Structure 1
Amino acid sequence: MATRTRRPERREEPLSRQRIVEAAIALLDTAGEGALTFRALAERLATGPGAIYWHVTGKDELLNAATDAVIATMTADTTSTAGTAAATPQEAIRTLALGVFDAIDAHPWIGTQLARAPSQSPLLRVFEHLGRHIQTLGVPHPAQFTAASALLNYILGVGGQNAANARGHHQHTSRAEFLNTTAAAWADLDPDEYPFTRNVADQLRDHDDRTEFLAGLDLILTGITTRQNPTDPTPP
Protein backbone atom coordinates (compact mmCIF):
# COMPACT_ATOMS: atom_id res chain seq x y z
CA MET A 1 0.00 0.00 0.00
CA ALA A 2 1.44 3.30 -1.08
CA THR A 3 2.17 5.76 1.64
CA ARG A 4 0.48 9.12 1.14
CA THR A 5 2.89 11.97 1.26
CA ARG A 6 1.51 14.80 3.34
CA ARG A 7 1.80 18.17 1.69
CA PRO A 8 3.59 20.74 3.75
CA GLU A 9 1.14 23.37 4.86
CA ARG A 10 1.69 26.75 3.28
CA ARG A 11 2.15 29.39 5.92
CA GLU A 12 0.42 32.62 5.14
CA GLU A 13 1.66 35.84 6.64
CA PRO A 14 -0.84 36.76 9.33
CA LEU A 15 -3.15 39.65 8.59
CA SER A 16 -2.07 42.80 10.38
CA ARG A 17 -2.86 46.49 10.26
CA GLN A 18 0.49 47.11 8.56
CA ARG A 19 -0.27 44.58 5.78
CA ILE A 20 -3.69 46.13 5.28
CA VAL A 21 -2.25 49.64 5.04
CA GLU A 22 0.47 48.51 2.60
CA ALA A 23 -2.14 46.81 0.41
CA ALA A 24 -4.32 49.92 0.55
CA ILE A 25 -1.42 52.11 -0.60
CA ALA A 26 -0.74 49.78 -3.53
CA LEU A 27 -4.42 49.83 -4.49
CA LEU A 28 -4.65 53.60 -4.20
CA ASP A 29 -1.53 54.07 -6.33
CA THR A 30 -2.77 51.83 -9.13
CA ALA A 31 -6.50 52.58 -9.17
CA GLY A 32 -7.17 55.72 -7.13
CA GLU A 33 -9.33 56.51 -4.13
CA GLY A 34 -12.56 55.47 -5.84
CA ALA A 35 -11.31 51.89 -6.18
CA LEU A 36 -10.45 51.53 -2.51
CA THR A 37 -13.20 49.36 -1.08
CA PHE A 38 -13.00 46.74 1.63
CA ARG A 39 -14.16 44.14 -0.89
CA ALA A 40 -11.32 45.01 -3.31
CA LEU A 41 -8.87 45.10 -0.44
CA ALA A 42 -10.08 41.71 0.82
CA GLU A 43 -9.54 40.19 -2.62
CA ARG A 44 -6.01 41.60 -2.76
CA LEU A 45 -5.23 40.20 0.70
CA ALA A 46 -7.05 36.89 0.08
CA THR A 47 -9.22 37.35 3.14
CA GLY A 48 -12.72 38.48 4.06
CA PRO A 49 -13.88 42.06 4.65
CA GLY A 50 -14.74 41.15 8.23
CA ALA A 51 -11.11 40.34 8.97
CA ILE A 52 -10.09 43.78 7.75
CA TYR A 53 -12.71 45.48 9.90
CA TRP A 54 -11.07 43.84 12.89
CA HIS A 55 -8.03 46.07 12.30
CA VAL A 56 -9.57 49.13 10.60
CA THR A 57 -13.01 50.54 11.37
CA GLY A 58 -13.72 52.18 8.01
CA LYS A 59 -12.44 53.79 4.82
CA ASP A 60 -11.69 57.15 6.41
CA GLU A 61 -9.45 55.55 9.02
CA LEU A 62 -7.75 53.48 6.33
CA LEU A 63 -7.08 56.50 4.12
CA ASN A 64 -5.64 58.40 7.06
CA ALA A 65 -3.45 55.45 8.03
CA ALA A 66 -2.20 55.05 4.45
CA THR A 67 -1.42 58.77 4.18
CA ASP A 68 0.31 58.77 7.55
CA ALA A 69 2.45 55.76 6.58
CA VAL A 70 3.75 57.51 3.46
CA ILE A 71 4.30 60.86 5.19
CA ALA A 72 5.97 59.27 8.23
CA THR A 73 8.45 57.47 5.97
CA MET A 74 9.08 60.62 3.95
CA THR A 75 9.65 62.87 6.98
CA ALA A 76 11.99 60.29 8.53
CA ASP A 77 14.00 60.09 5.31
CA THR A 78 14.19 63.84 4.74
CA THR A 79 15.05 64.57 8.39
CA SER A 80 17.88 62.06 8.22
CA THR A 81 19.13 63.49 4.93
CA ALA A 82 19.01 67.08 6.16
CA GLY A 83 20.65 66.24 9.47
CA THR A 84 23.63 64.31 8.16
CA ALA A 85 24.88 67.26 6.13
CA ALA A 86 24.50 69.81 8.93
CA ALA A 87 22.00 71.62 6.75
CA THR A 88 20.92 75.18 7.32
CA PRO A 89 17.25 75.68 8.25
CA GLN A 90 16.56 76.88 4.69
CA GLU A 91 18.14 73.73 3.23
CA ALA A 92 16.21 71.53 5.66
CA ILE A 93 12.95 73.22 4.63
CA ARG A 94 13.79 72.73 0.95
CA THR A 95 14.53 69.04 1.57
CA LEU A 96 11.28 68.54 3.47
CA ALA A 97 9.23 70.49 0.93
CA LEU A 98 10.67 68.56 -1.99
CA GLY A 99 10.01 65.32 -0.12
CA VAL A 100 6.32 66.19 0.21
CA PHE A 101 6.19 67.35 -3.42
CA ASP A 102 7.68 64.05 -4.62
CA ALA A 103 5.43 62.02 -2.31
CA ILE A 104 2.32 63.68 -3.74
CA ASP A 105 3.67 63.16 -7.25
CA ALA A 106 4.20 59.44 -6.56
CA HIS A 107 0.93 59.05 -4.63
CA PRO A 108 -1.50 61.66 -6.06
CA TRP A 109 -4.27 60.73 -3.61
CA ILE A 110 -2.15 62.02 -0.71
CA GLY A 111 -2.64 65.66 -1.67
CA THR A 112 -6.40 65.37 -1.28
CA GLN A 113 -6.08 63.53 2.01
CA LEU A 114 -3.69 66.07 3.51
CA ALA A 115 -5.98 68.96 2.61
CA ARG A 116 -9.10 67.11 3.75
CA ALA A 117 -8.03 66.45 7.35
CA PRO A 118 -5.96 69.35 8.75
CA SER A 119 -6.26 68.05 12.32
CA GLN A 120 -5.00 64.55 11.53
CA SER A 121 -1.47 63.33 12.13
CA PRO A 122 -0.24 63.18 8.49
CA LEU A 123 -0.61 66.92 7.97
CA LEU A 124 0.55 67.69 11.49
CA ARG A 125 3.78 65.76 10.85
CA VAL A 126 4.64 68.11 8.00
CA PHE A 127 3.51 71.21 9.89
CA GLU A 128 5.53 70.19 12.96
CA HIS A 129 8.74 69.68 10.99
CA LEU A 130 8.28 72.98 9.13
CA GLY A 131 7.66 74.74 12.44
CA ARG A 132 10.83 73.35 14.01
CA HIS A 133 12.90 74.61 11.07
CA ILE A 134 11.16 77.99 11.29
CA GLN A 135 12.13 78.19 14.96
CA THR A 136 15.74 77.25 14.14
CA LEU A 137 15.73 79.97 11.50
CA GLY A 138 15.12 82.45 14.32
CA VAL A 139 11.68 83.67 13.24
CA PRO A 140 10.05 85.55 16.16
CA HIS A 141 7.30 83.63 17.93
CA PRO A 142 4.41 85.90 16.79
CA ALA A 143 5.37 85.25 13.14
CA GLN A 144 6.07 81.51 13.37
CA PHE A 145 2.52 80.31 12.74
CA THR A 146 2.15 82.58 9.70
CA ALA A 147 5.50 81.51 8.26
CA ALA A 148 4.88 77.78 8.74
CA SER A 149 1.32 78.06 7.39
CA ALA A 150 2.47 79.96 4.29
CA LEU A 151 5.06 77.28 3.55
CA LEU A 152 2.61 74.45 4.17
CA ASN A 153 -0.09 75.97 1.97
CA TYR A 154 2.40 76.55 -0.84
CA ILE A 155 3.75 72.99 -0.66
CA LEU A 156 0.30 71.38 -0.63
CA GLY A 157 -1.11 73.73 -3.25
CA VAL A 158 1.66 73.34 -5.81
CA GLY A 159 2.19 69.65 -5.08
CA GLY A 160 -1.52 68.93 -5.40
CA GLN A 161 -1.86 70.94 -8.60
CA ASN A 162 1.14 69.18 -10.13
CA ALA A 163 -0.38 65.78 -9.32
CA ALA A 164 -3.77 66.85 -10.69
CA ASN A 165 -2.15 67.99 -13.93
CA ALA A 166 -0.36 64.66 -14.27
CA ARG A 167 -3.59 62.71 -13.72
CA GLY A 168 -5.85 64.88 -15.82
CA HIS A 169 -4.00 66.45 -18.71
CA HIS A 170 -1.26 63.91 -19.32
CA GLN A 171 -3.35 60.73 -19.43
CA HIS A 172 -3.66 60.72 -23.22
CA THR A 173 -0.62 62.79 -24.15
CA SER A 174 2.94 63.33 -22.99
CA ARG A 175 3.87 66.22 -20.72
CA ALA A 176 5.91 67.81 -23.53
CA GLU A 177 2.99 67.63 -25.94
CA PHE A 178 0.62 69.07 -23.37
CA LEU A 179 2.95 71.97 -22.59
CA ASN A 180 3.58 72.68 -26.27
CA THR A 181 -0.14 72.79 -26.97
CA THR A 182 -0.86 75.01 -23.99
CA ALA A 183 2.08 77.33 -24.73
CA ALA A 184 0.89 77.70 -28.32
CA ALA A 185 -2.59 78.59 -27.07
CA TRP A 186 -1.13 81.20 -24.72
CA ALA A 187 0.93 82.70 -27.54
CA ASP A 188 -2.26 83.13 -29.62
CA LEU A 189 -4.17 85.01 -26.90
CA ASP A 190 -5.32 88.56 -27.46
CA PRO A 191 -2.21 90.76 -26.97
CA ASP A 192 -4.21 93.59 -25.39
CA GLU A 193 -6.04 91.40 -22.87
CA TYR A 194 -3.23 88.94 -22.04
CA PRO A 195 0.12 90.70 -22.64
CA PHE A 196 1.88 89.03 -19.72
CA THR A 197 0.61 85.51 -20.41
CA ARG A 198 1.70 85.75 -24.05
CA ASN A 199 5.11 86.98 -22.95
CA VAL A 200 5.81 83.94 -20.73
CA ALA A 201 4.38 81.30 -23.08
CA ASP A 202 7.85 80.04 -24.02
CA GLN A 203 8.79 79.69 -20.34
CA LEU A 204 5.74 77.49 -19.79
CA ARG A 205 6.84 75.23 -22.64
CA ASP A 206 10.36 74.72 -21.28
CA HIS A 207 9.86 74.78 -17.51
CA ASP A 208 10.70 71.97 -15.07
CA ASP A 209 8.06 71.41 -12.38
CA ARG A 210 10.46 70.60 -9.54
CA THR A 211 12.78 73.50 -10.41
CA GLU A 212 9.88 75.96 -10.48
CA PHE A 213 8.55 74.52 -7.21
CA LEU A 214 11.86 75.14 -5.47
CA ALA A 215 12.18 78.60 -7.01
CA GLY A 216 8.78 79.56 -5.61
CA LEU A 217 9.72 78.10 -2.24
CA ASP A 218 12.87 80.24 -2.20
CA LEU A 219 10.77 83.35 -2.80
CA ILE A 220 8.76 82.57 0.34
CA LEU A 221 11.88 81.77 2.36
CA THR A 222 13.47 85.03 1.21
CA GLY A 223 10.37 86.91 2.31
CA ILE A 224 10.44 85.21 5.72
CA THR A 225 14.11 85.98 6.33
CA THR A 226 13.86 89.53 4.96
CA ARG A 227 10.91 90.32 7.20
CA GLN A 228 12.82 88.84 10.12
CA ASN A 229 15.88 91.02 9.44
CA PRO A 230 14.60 94.15 7.67
CA THR A 231 17.16 96.53 6.28
CA ASP A 232 17.30 99.71 8.30
CA PRO A 233 16.11 102.61 6.20
CA THR A 234 18.72 105.13 5.27
CA PRO A 235 18.20 108.28 7.32
CA PRO A 236 17.24 111.32 5.28
Structure 2
Amino acid sequence: MAPRTRRAERREEPLSRERIVEAAIALLDTAGESGLTFRALSEHLATGPGAIYWHVTGKDELLLAAADAVVTGSLSADTADATPQDAIRALALGVFDAIDAHPWIGAQLARTPAQSPLLRVFERLGRQVRALGVPHAAQFTAASALLNYILGVGGQNAANARANHPAGSRTEFLETAAAAWAALDPDEYAFTRDVAAQLRDHDDRVEFLAGIDLILGGITADR
Protein backbone atom coordinates (compact mmCIF):
# COMPACT_ATOMS: atom_id res chain seq x y z
CA MET A 1 0.00 0.00 0.00
CA ALA A 2 2.88 2.42 0.79
CA PRO A 3 4.20 2.66 -2.81
CA ARG A 4 0.66 3.33 -4.07
CA THR A 5 0.30 6.20 -1.53
CA ARG A 6 3.58 7.82 -2.69
CA ARG A 7 2.52 7.66 -6.33
CA ALA A 8 -0.82 9.25 -5.47
CA GLU A 9 0.97 12.12 -3.70
CA ARG A 10 3.13 12.78 -6.75
CA ARG A 11 0.02 13.04 -8.93
CA GLU A 12 -1.90 15.26 -6.49
CA GLU A 13 -1.42 18.31 -8.73
CA PRO A 14 -1.34 17.45 -12.46
CA LEU A 15 1.64 18.68 -14.43
CA SER A 16 0.73 21.60 -16.65
CA ARG A 17 2.51 24.31 -18.63
CA GLU A 18 1.52 26.82 -15.94
CA ARG A 19 3.11 24.73 -13.17
CA ILE A 20 6.26 24.29 -15.23
CA VAL A 21 6.52 28.04 -15.84
CA GLU A 22 5.94 28.79 -12.13
CA ALA A 23 8.68 26.34 -11.19
CA ALA A 24 11.02 27.84 -13.79
CA ILE A 25 10.47 31.33 -12.34
CA ALA A 26 11.24 30.02 -8.85
CA LEU A 27 14.50 28.46 -10.08
CA LEU A 28 15.46 31.59 -12.01
CA ASP A 29 14.85 33.74 -8.93
CA THR A 30 17.04 31.59 -6.70
CA ALA A 31 19.73 30.27 -9.06
CA GLY A 32 19.69 32.56 -12.10
CA GLU A 33 19.55 31.54 -15.72
CA SER A 34 22.45 29.09 -15.37
CA GLY A 35 20.51 27.27 -12.65
CA LEU A 36 17.50 26.67 -14.89
CA THR A 37 18.16 23.19 -16.25
CA PHE A 38 15.65 20.52 -17.12
CA ARG A 39 17.28 18.25 -14.54
CA ALA A 40 16.76 20.85 -11.78
CA LEU A 41 13.25 21.49 -13.05
CA SER A 42 12.46 17.77 -13.04
CA GLU A 43 13.63 17.47 -9.44
CA HIS A 44 11.64 20.54 -8.43
CA LEU A 45 8.48 19.15 -10.00
CA ALA A 46 9.15 15.53 -9.02
CA THR A 47 8.73 14.34 -12.59
CA GLY A 48 10.81 13.25 -15.55
CA PRO A 49 12.26 15.50 -18.30
CA GLY A 50 10.04 13.81 -20.87
CA ALA A 51 6.91 15.04 -19.12
CA ILE A 52 8.25 18.60 -19.20
CA TYR A 53 9.18 18.38 -22.88
CA TRP A 54 5.56 17.48 -23.59
CA HIS A 55 4.65 21.07 -22.60
CA VAL A 56 7.73 23.07 -23.69
CA THR A 57 10.23 22.40 -26.46
CA GLY A 58 13.35 23.66 -24.70
CA LYS A 59 15.01 26.22 -22.46
CA ASP A 60 14.55 29.15 -24.85
CA GLU A 61 10.80 28.64 -24.97
CA LEU A 62 10.72 28.23 -21.20
CA LEU A 63 12.66 31.47 -20.62
CA LEU A 64 10.32 33.33 -22.94
CA ALA A 65 7.25 31.89 -21.19
CA ALA A 66 8.66 32.78 -17.76
CA ALA A 67 9.41 36.35 -18.85
CA ASP A 68 5.97 36.67 -20.41
CA ALA A 69 4.31 35.51 -17.17
CA VAL A 70 6.26 38.01 -15.06
CA VAL A 71 5.62 40.89 -17.46
CA THR A 72 1.92 40.06 -17.69
CA GLY A 73 1.74 40.22 -13.90
CA SER A 74 3.51 43.59 -13.87
CA LEU A 75 0.89 45.05 -16.25
CA SER A 76 -2.09 44.08 -14.10
CA ALA A 77 -2.69 47.52 -12.54
CA ASP A 78 -6.07 49.02 -13.46
CA THR A 79 -5.37 52.27 -15.30
CA ALA A 80 -8.70 52.62 -17.11
CA ASP A 81 -9.57 55.89 -15.37
CA ALA A 82 -6.02 57.20 -15.01
CA THR A 83 -4.50 60.07 -16.96
CA PRO A 84 -1.94 59.03 -19.58
CA GLN A 85 0.85 60.34 -17.32
CA ASP A 86 -0.37 58.32 -14.33
CA ALA A 87 -0.90 55.24 -16.49
CA ILE A 88 2.69 55.49 -17.73
CA ARG A 89 3.98 55.92 -14.18
CA ALA A 90 2.04 52.86 -13.00
CA LEU A 91 3.24 50.79 -15.95
CA ALA A 92 6.85 51.90 -15.51
CA LEU A 93 6.83 51.18 -11.78
CA GLY A 94 5.25 47.77 -12.35
CA VAL A 95 8.04 46.76 -14.73
CA PHE A 96 10.70 48.30 -12.44
CA ASP A 97 9.42 46.29 -9.47
CA ALA A 98 9.21 43.13 -11.58
CA ILE A 99 12.86 43.48 -12.60
CA ASP A 100 13.81 44.17 -8.98
CA ALA A 101 11.99 41.02 -7.82
CA HIS A 102 13.19 38.89 -10.76
CA PRO A 103 16.65 40.25 -11.74
CA TRP A 104 17.07 37.75 -14.59
CA ILE A 105 14.19 39.25 -16.54
CA GLY A 106 16.03 42.43 -17.57
CA ALA A 107 18.52 40.50 -19.68
CA GLN A 108 15.77 38.25 -21.03
CA LEU A 109 13.67 41.21 -22.20
CA ALA A 110 16.65 42.86 -23.86
CA ARG A 111 17.44 39.61 -25.66
CA THR A 112 13.95 39.22 -27.16
CA PRO A 113 13.03 42.67 -28.52
CA ALA A 114 10.72 41.31 -31.22
CA GLN A 115 8.84 38.86 -29.00
CA SER A 116 5.78 39.23 -26.83
CA PRO A 117 7.05 40.22 -23.32
CA LEU A 118 8.73 43.40 -24.53
CA LEU A 119 6.06 44.12 -27.11
CA ARG A 120 3.40 44.09 -24.38
CA VAL A 121 5.22 46.87 -22.54
CA PHE A 122 5.92 48.84 -25.73
CA GLU A 123 2.28 48.59 -26.83
CA ARG A 124 1.00 49.86 -23.47
CA LEU A 125 3.48 52.74 -23.49
CA GLY A 126 2.66 53.61 -27.08
CA ARG A 127 -1.07 53.81 -26.43
CA GLN A 128 -0.51 56.24 -23.56
CA VAL A 129 1.94 58.30 -25.61
CA ARG A 130 -0.71 58.56 -28.29
CA ALA A 131 -3.28 59.56 -25.66
CA LEU A 132 -0.96 62.40 -24.62
CA GLY A 133 -1.47 63.91 -28.08
CA VAL A 134 2.09 63.35 -29.26
CA PRO A 135 2.30 63.84 -33.06
CA HIS A 136 2.42 60.57 -34.98
CA ALA A 137 5.94 61.22 -36.28
CA ALA A 138 7.26 61.52 -32.70
CA GLN A 139 5.35 58.66 -31.08
CA PHE A 140 7.92 55.94 -31.78
CA THR A 141 10.72 58.08 -30.36
CA ALA A 142 8.73 58.98 -27.24
CA ALA A 143 7.65 55.39 -26.51
CA SER A 144 11.17 54.10 -27.20
CA ALA A 145 12.72 56.67 -24.85
CA LEU A 146 10.40 55.58 -22.06
CA LEU A 147 10.98 51.88 -22.72
CA ASN A 148 14.76 52.24 -22.85
CA TYR A 149 14.77 54.22 -19.62
CA ILE A 150 12.59 51.66 -17.83
CA LEU A 151 14.70 48.69 -18.93
CA GLY A 152 18.01 50.47 -18.45
CA VAL A 153 17.39 51.83 -14.97
CA GLY A 154 15.47 48.75 -13.84
CA GLY A 155 18.21 46.42 -15.05
CA GLN A 156 21.00 48.54 -13.56
CA ASN A 157 19.22 48.75 -10.22
CA ALA A 158 18.83 44.98 -10.10
CA ALA A 159 22.47 44.45 -11.10
CA ASN A 160 23.67 46.86 -8.42
CA ALA A 161 21.59 45.08 -5.80
CA ARG A 162 23.11 41.70 -6.67
CA ALA A 163 26.69 42.89 -7.03
CA ASN A 164 27.03 45.53 -4.35
CA HIS A 165 24.64 45.04 -1.47
CA PRO A 166 23.22 41.63 -0.54
CA ALA A 167 19.76 41.54 1.02
CA GLY A 168 19.52 43.63 4.16
CA SER A 169 22.70 45.71 3.67
CA ARG A 170 21.63 48.42 1.20
CA THR A 171 21.91 51.15 3.85
CA GLU A 172 25.45 50.09 4.73
CA PHE A 173 26.44 50.03 1.05
CA LEU A 174 25.05 53.52 0.44
CA GLU A 175 26.77 54.88 3.55
CA THR A 176 30.10 53.53 2.31
CA ALA A 177 29.58 54.80 -1.23
CA ALA A 178 28.47 58.25 -0.02
CA ALA A 179 31.51 58.52 2.22
CA ALA A 180 33.75 57.62 -0.72
CA TRP A 181 32.08 60.30 -2.88
CA ALA A 182 32.47 62.90 -0.13
CA ALA A 183 36.20 62.14 0.06
CA LEU A 184 36.86 62.69 -3.66
CA ASP A 185 39.09 65.48 -4.93
CA PRO A 186 37.06 68.72 -4.59
CA ASP A 187 38.37 70.19 -7.83
CA GLU A 188 37.94 67.14 -10.04
CA TYR A 189 34.63 65.95 -8.55
CA ALA A 190 32.93 69.10 -7.28
CA PHE A 191 29.42 68.02 -8.28
CA THR A 192 29.75 64.40 -7.12
CA ARG A 193 31.00 65.50 -3.70
CA ASP A 194 28.11 67.96 -3.44
CA VAL A 195 25.43 65.28 -3.95
CA ALA A 196 27.04 62.58 -1.80
CA ALA A 197 24.43 63.01 0.93
CA GLN A 198 21.65 62.59 -1.64
CA LEU A 199 23.17 59.28 -2.73
CA ARG A 200 23.11 58.06 0.87
CA ASP A 201 19.47 59.04 1.47
CA HIS A 202 17.87 58.37 -1.92
CA ASP A 203 15.02 55.94 -2.61
CA ASP A 204 15.46 53.93 -5.82
CA ARG A 205 11.77 53.89 -6.72
CA VAL A 206 11.31 57.61 -6.04
CA GLU A 207 14.34 58.47 -8.19
CA PHE A 208 13.12 56.15 -10.92
CA LEU A 209 9.72 57.86 -11.07
CA ALA A 210 11.41 61.27 -11.03
CA GLY A 211 13.23 60.22 -14.19
CA ILE A 212 9.95 59.14 -15.78
CA ASP A 213 8.51 62.56 -14.98
CA LEU A 214 11.50 64.28 -16.60
CA ILE A 215 10.92 62.29 -19.79
CA LEU A 216 7.19 62.99 -19.68
CA GLY A 217 7.93 66.68 -19.21
CA GLY A 218 10.05 66.63 -22.36
CA ILE A 219 7.45 64.69 -24.32
CA THR A 220 4.62 67.06 -23.42
CA ALA A 221 6.65 70.28 -23.71
CA ASP A 222 6.55 70.14 -27.52
CA ARG A 223 2.86 69.28 -27.72
TM-score normalised by the chain length of structure 1: 0.89
**Alignment partners' CA distance in 2, 1:37 and 1:58:** 10
Select the residue among 204, 209, 217 that pairs with 1:222. 217
Superposed CA RMSD in Å reads 1.8
**Alignment partners' CA distance in 1, 2:36 and 2:188:** 45
Q: 1:173 to 1:70 in 2, by over 3 A?
A: closer
**Alignment partners' CA distance in 1, 2:162 and 2:35:** 15
Partner of 2:23: 23
Select the residue among 102, 111, 122 that pairs with 1:127. 122
DSSP 3-state at the match of 2:222 = helix
Asked whether 1:183 is paired with 2:178, we answer yes
Count of aligned pairs between the two proteins: 220
Q: What does 1:161-172 correspond to in 2, within 5 Å? A: 161-171=156-166
Shift of 1:12: 2.6
Shift of 1:51: 1.4
Deviations 1:94-148 (A, max 9, x none): 0000000011111111111111110110000000000000111111100000000
**Alignment partners' CA distance in 1, 2:128 and 2:212:** 14
Shift of 1:172: 7.5
For residue 130 of structure 1, what is the amino acid of its counterpart? Answer: L
**Alignment partners' CA distance in 2, 1:201 and 1:30:** 33
For residue 115 of structure 2, what is the amino acid of its counterpart? Answer: Q
**Alignment partners' CA distance in 1, 2:166 and 2:208:** 22
Partner of 1:234: none
Shift >3 Å, 4+ stretches: 7-11
Q: Which runs of 5 or more structure 2 residues have no equivalent in the other structure?
A: none
Partner of 1:157: 152
Q: What does 1:89-100 correspond to in 2, within 5 Å? A: 89-100=84-95
Select the residue among 183, 196, 205 that pairs with 2:200. 205
**Percent identity over the alignment?**
76
Whose radius of gyration is greater, 1 or 2?
1
Q: Which runs of 5 or more structure 1 residues have no equivalent in the other structure?
A: 229-236
Shift of 1:173: 6.6
